[in-house]
DNA sequence: CTAATTTAGTAGTCGTAACTACTAAATTTA
DNA sequence: TAAATTTAGTAGTTACGACTACTAAATTAG
């Protein structure tokens, strides 16, 4: 049988990448289930949070700027932002200085939803990371070293 | 402006969950780009690798068993397995003992592809985790504690 | 042994995520 | 300043990933 040929092969659980993947999928699932109760996905929340942050740093925020900040591609970002506009969580206004660009403005409803969603996210994170809490700095350092 | 209302809010980069998400997305992207050169996605590779492993532990493997092993849902697994069968990497044979079930058999072509893909995966992993190599045990331990 | 329940798999939906390809506007440079 | 290049955003494709809903077969229970 083909499968009896032996070639060096780690069991999935022995592989850092696979572990990372599994853990993140679980975290994401928890987040999406919790956020789903208020009609948000994790990606939607994350873009709204990013917009909130960027809005505090600069007067105007374009879709491209938000995409850069959130490390999402502009095509996907565009679609999610259209969805968020339909839900009236933000507005996409034509930029007067650059007629290609859209300025993003979070609405009152959006801010309120974000505020509530953030409580949920914080709660889910606390539960999820409680097993690692003492080593949180170590954990975050290791992750940070893996970025880029 | 709405966004000037202050409410406690961590910057994304200060958040373990967000870091985890970003790192995993980057790892996944690297993997998918590398595996893409040989016509595989990470998920396809992962299911083939899981099938390979399970095949060594038991005589027969059903879709459900593979899904359980890989922590994927059976609906998604079914679709990916149909794709893999079309690519002739495996066969889905009717189980003689349980006519609801499909027995999965990796083909010669599948084994060969898996072998080559594994070299790629190993390579990408080595590069990706090189910054953490000395702390690999610590890293894997922390991740393992987060599972389930 | 029949009815109720569980199990294995498929079909189809929604929302990313990574693409290619495109339009139109802004910027650079020759 | 006209031409070449870059930039901001949209449209559409493929492939998960998490669902609901369904069929049919196997198992359990009364």
What are A98-127's pLDDT values in tens digits?
999 999 999 999 999 999 999 999 999 999
Measure the CA–CA gap between A77 and A47, rounded to whole angstroms: 8
B101, part of any domain: yes
How many A/B residue pairs have CB atoms within 8 Å? 152
CB B40 within 8 A of CB B124: no
> What ipTM, to 2 d.p.?
0.92
Instruction: Give the up-direction half-sphere exposure of residue A132: CA atoms within 13 A in the CB hemisphere.
Output: 25
| Residue A82: inside a domain | yes
Is the pLDDT at B2 greater than 60? The verdict is no
- For residue A11, is pLDDT > 90? no
In a domain, B108, yes or no: yes
User: Could you give phi then psi for residue B81, rounded to 5 degrees?
Assistant: -65, -35
The mean pLDDT value for A132-148 works out to: 93
Listed in sequence order, the residues at least 6 apart from B140 whose beta carbon sits closer than 8 Å to its beta carbon are A16, A19
Distances (CA, A) of A70 to A85, A90, A130, B27: 18, 17, 26, 16
**A64 contact to strand D (CB, 7 A limit):** yes
Judge contact between A35 and A43, C-beta under 8 A.
no
List the CATH number of the domain containing A58.
Answer: 1.10.10.10
Q: Is residue B27 part of a domain?
A: no
Q: What is the DSSP secondary structure assignment for residue B5, as one 8-state letter?
A: S
Q: Shortest CA–C1' contact from A43: which nucleotide?
A: C16
Q: CB-based contacts with strand C under 7 Å? A: A 41-44, 72-73, 75-76, 79-80, 83, 98-100; B 25, 28-29, 32-33, 62-65, 67, 74-75, 78, 81-82, 92, 95, 98, 100-102
The mean pLDDT value for B136-146 works out to: 95
Residue ranges of E strands in B7-140: 90-94, 102-106
Question: Does A80 map to a domain?
Answer: yes
- CB distance A40 to A115 below 8 Å: no
Q: Please report the residues numbered 112 through 141 in chain A whose beta carbons come closer than 8 angstroms to any beta carbon of chain B.
A: 115, 118, 121, 124-125, 128-129, 131-132, 135-136, 138-140
Average pLDDT score over chain B:
93
B70 in any annotated domain: yes
Inside any domain, residue A117? yes
d(CA A46, CA A117): 10
What is the length of chain B?
A: 148
Q: Which residues of chain A make contact with B110, given a CB cutoff of 8 A?
A: 2
* Residue B110: closest C-alpha in chain A: A2
pLDDT tens, position by position, B78-123: 999 999 999 999 999 999 999 999 999 999 999 999 999 999 999 9
Total structural domains within chain A: 1
CA→C1' distance for A11 and C5 (Å): 36
* CA-closest candidate to residue A45, choices B146, B19, B12, B8: B12
Please give the angle made by the CA atoms of A141, B45 and A1, to the nearest 5 degrees: 135
- The nucleotide minimizing the C1' distance to residue B42's CA is D16
Per-residue pLDDT for B43 more than 90?
yes
Tokens of A132: 């690692």
- For residue B88, tell me if it sits in a domain: yes
What is the per-residue pLDDT for B117?
97
CA B25 to chain CA centroid, nearest Å: 12
Q: Which of residues 72-101 of A touch B (CB under 8 A)?
A: none
Coil, helix or strand for A104? strand
Between A112 and A6, the more confident residue is: A112
**Residues of chain A contacting residue B11, judged by C-beta atoms under 8 Å apart:** 53
Residue A99 structural domain = 39-124
How many Å apart are A105 CA and C25 C1'? Answer: 22
* HSE-up of residue A73 (Cα within 13 Å, Cβ side): 5
> A62 forms bridges with which residues in the sheet?
A103
pLDDT of residue A3 exceeding 60, the answer is: no
CA–CA gap between residue B8 and residue B29 (Å, rounded): 32
């Amino acid at each position: 049988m083909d499968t009896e040929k032996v070639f060096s092969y780690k069991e999935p659980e022995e592989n850092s990448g696979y572990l990372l993947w599994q853990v993140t999928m679980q975290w994401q699932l928890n987040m999406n289930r919790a956020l789903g109760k208020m009609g948000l996905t994790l990606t939607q929340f994350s873009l709204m949070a990013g917009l909130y942050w960027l809005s505090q740093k600069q007067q105007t925020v374009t879709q491209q700027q938000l995409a850069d900040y959130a490390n999402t591609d502009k095509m996907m970002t565009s679609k999610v932002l259209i969805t968020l506009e339909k839900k009236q969580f933000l507005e996409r206004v034509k930029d007067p200085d650059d007629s290609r660009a859209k300025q993003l403005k979070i609405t009152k409803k959006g801010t309120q939803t974000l505020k509530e969603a953030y409580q949920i996210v914080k709660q889910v994170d606390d539960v999820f990371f409680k097993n690692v809490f003492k080593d949180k700095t170590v954990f975050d350092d290791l992750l940070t070293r893996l970025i880029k």
